[in-house]
Structure 1
Amino acid sequence: MTDRDDAARDRSRWSDLDRPPLDGTALRRGLVRQGGLWTDVEVVQRTGSTNSDLVSRAAEGRAGEGVVLVAEEQTAARGRLDRRWTAPPRSGLFFSVLLAPGEVPVARWGWLPLLTGVAVATGLSRAAGVDTALKWPNDLLVTVGGAERKAGGILAERAGDAGVVIGVGINVTLRADELPVPTAGSLALAGAVSTDRDTLLRGVLRALEQWYGRWRAADGDPGPSGLQETYAAGCATLGRTVRAELPGDRAVTGEAVAVDGDGRLVLATAEGVRQPIGAGDIVHLRPA
């Protein structure tokens, strides 16, 4: 890449006035404080994947708990099972955080992506005024034209002994003609009262700090922390009949009746069996 290319990209940051760039300095000033969870907020113009970058930094000892890495554009963003996530520059929030809940039993770390979902939904409800719902295990849903649409996703990855990197992608200002698939949506299309990404990011990160603190204080127990109850209350999957597609061309169909203490989705099958499904086991979850 040439210096001319870099200069052109920098000028283009201001070419779409509906999508102004994030202010990294202001974000650090508003989020990083003594005794708080967030220790640094870095905004980069372009990268492959904030999750990949932060996992590498953490594994090499170049990042500690509370680091937030935000990208204005990602060229190799990933979802679960390495599914691609694409969006125009500055059209959403694309960021990753490093969490290191060392005192919490590792068996309970599987709640971290669900906790992040609760925090994202909470933060967006307050900052954007949009009703959001969670599709187990890692999707954020909004309502567009009376239909549920996916507006965001969450990806959790271990970073060796350094902790867990949680990646979040949220469609903020995507227009209908920019949606990657017909089932996608955005906060703007859902009627958000604000699409100011600085405000939205602060709201989400503050909610994440609060929920993470409650969860850690309860030693990661989703019951006493209120996480299990809150997740269930906002989970659009519960009460619906779904088909869980598993590796090896296996599938389980049943009504989603609960999220258990391990964060697994419990399906009540026609045979009267209650079958728990773990997030790490599922390939697709579809309406039956």
Structure 2
Amino acid sequence: MKEVIVTGPHKAEVRDVPMPKIENKHDVLIKMQSAGVCGSDHHIYHGTNPCSTYPRIPGHENAGIVTAVGSAVTTVKTGDHVIVDLIMTCGECYQCKIGRKNVCESVRVRGSGADDVVFILGTGTIGSIILQTCKAKGCKTVICCDVSDSSLERAKKYGADYVINSKRENLLERIQTITKGRGVTIAFDSACFKGSLTLVMQPGIVCNAGRIVPMGFVTEPESITQAMINQREIDIIGSRMSCCQFEPTIKHIENGDFDLEGIATNFIKFSNIQEVFYHMEHPDPSVKKMVILFDE
């Protein structure tokens, strides 16, 4: 079989390696059919993911077909179409026992009420899914901001109540107008660039006692003070990966709760894997989500 491996920043190889085999009774062997290219994979390739080391086989949004199972496996069988949970946890530590396995002590890696007024900075793949999730939960108003008109048009299709292009419009003024001077109750930073968290935290964006959820792993310092948090008693909610969300997400998809049309924009054969890295090196606003299709 073949694997793609990132050996260092901006360095990737395709290698021939032995096919894995069932080695214990709980193993499941899956033939990969597709893999979404996540923002985390971009960071791994560019050397900007603080949680990753090299060499690294990227890809954790995986779908495939079960080709073999161990003797103790009862939940799937050969021929089943499956997706793979990206999180592997111990199940025994304090974090796992209180239902927060996404921050398990030994984790290995393969939120909003009905009256909320939501602000989403960045309407790429993650922002688009947050948008649809908030609308499915019955959030009162969802405001989306981006610098790409095509992304904002897509956000309107997915149910955004208001869209703001911050290249042409004053973000603070628009939010104050939309919310009648109150600000939003929760803001998601899914743009995740240096300064994006400071931008979201500026007075007038989030209301007193509001919540901010940063989605990225930017390591550069920002100009945030204790006063910015405490004067308005803002809750900052950390978010790493996902926690116990695979099954409910599958149910939502089965029920047609999410509009998936246009989420994935580029389907690339594994034999053309260099095209993935080309788009990483040469960002194109029209390439919003790449999916690798493994050759038969």
Taking structure 2 as the reference length, the TM-score comes to 0.23
Taking structure 1 as the reference length, the TM-score comes to 0.24
Q: Which has the larger radius of gyration?
A: 2
